[in-house]
Structure 1
Amino acid sequence: MKQSFRAKRMLKQHKRLAQSSKLNLVALMDIFTILVFFLMVNQSDVVVLPSNKDMSLPQSVSEQLPREQVLLTVTANGVLIQGKAIWRGDWLQAPELWQKELSEAVQQELNYLAGRTAALTEEQQALGRPLTILADASTPYAVLRRLMAMCAGTEYRDISLAVEQRSKVLEATP
């Protein structure tokens, strides 16, 4: 019996669909190769610390990159730990007025943060927990020294000061 043109076409289509599909691995490997090289080239080790527009960090030739750790920010009118305002006041007033209140607030917040993390090992106990102080270049050194002493009074003794890295061009010119 003679098959119609439509029946022949349907039979051919069914045979073609019944075959297992083949995966073109060459194109897939090309895509993955390009993706791997793209990710390797665009991987960056730049760590950006959060800062205010009003704050200008001191410049330094430090090559050490910041790590992920507790951040204590000193502003013109207060102190923040991990972005949470813990004290507001004026640095220009007599130190006796703000030191006790600030000391209690800093120690309470740092002890709270230390309690939320794992206990220190023996090696870490010698160094203490890491902390970065982010302060404006115009912040008085006496204030920074007092804050570092407050932090050292808790488990946070591995203290780093955030600075802005000088460019190589500025270092070459006197």
Structure 2
Amino acid sequence: MTKNDKILDTAIFAGGCFWCMVEPFDTLPGIKKVVSGYTGGHVPNPTYQEVCTGKTGHTEAVEITFDPKIMPYKKLVALYWQVADPTDAMGQFQDRGDQYRPVIYYNSEEQKKIAEESKKELAKSGIFDKPIVTKIEKAGPFYPAEEYHQDFYKKDPLRYQLEESGGRAEYQKMWKK
């Protein structure tokens, strides 16, 4: 490997419907790819229909491939707190069920440390009047979702706007204050 080779990393976040988790990360500098998929469950290669039953143990999540020199993991975690409600363990906004629970999946001890420190800082900040319940778990296999779920905000912008207006947009306004 030469000095000029870029070393990319991945981050996996779950925070409700993966359709709404792609766009906030996809538009950042240093992001190479954002893939919608499933992780954290016990069934290999699950389908959307299987995950929707809530019986596979998976969350809908996004896997973000990024250049940490341009977009450090710490900044991705900070944005995650702004797009997922860390106080709602059983879903996000209009998305209800275990498959929509908020989880930060780490793939290294460094990511784990950054996520845990960030969670502690958020809890101390007083922004929320409820406890921070987002789990921080070791990443396991990530299964890309079916093609029709990829880049949904680009493929069906009207439906994406409808999904986004289900509470997430109001939540994000809170962070801008």
TM-score, normalised on structure 1? 0.28
Q: Give the number of the structure whose residues are more often helix, by fraction.
A: 1
Q: Give the number of the structure whose residues are more often strand, by fraction.
A: 2
Tell me: higher relative CO, structure 1 or 2? Use CA pairs within 8 A at least 6 residues apart. 2
Rg bigger for which structure? 1
